[in-house]
Amino acid sequence: MDVTIYTKNGCQQCKATKRRLDRRGIAYQEIDLDTDPWARIQVRQLGYQSAPVVDTPHGAWAGYRPTLIDRI
């Protein structure tokens, strides 16, 4: 499964999202928006303004969305 999570330092929703993915055994690639300016541009071009942004083969979303995580 190709799951990418775009995070920011100190983001509580990012931490909660990663915890839930970890508990469910879902592998993911984490990209830090604080240190990767190109990723920030990509996320903004997709229309997202807040972190985390989770990108999956089935779609993407922003924020802590446990019901969507459980569908992965």
Predicted model pTM: 0.91
Per DSSP, helices labelled H in 1-72 are 12-23, 37-45, 66-70
pLDDT in tens, 12-23: 999 999 999 999
The structural domain count of the chain equals 1
Q: Note down the domain range covering 28.
A: 4-70
Which CATH number goes with the domain that contains 8? 3.40.30.10
pLDDT in tens, 28-47: 999 999 999 999 999 999 89
Residue of 42, 70, 71, 51 whose CA lies nearest to 5: 51
* Residue 56 CA, distance from chain mean position: 9
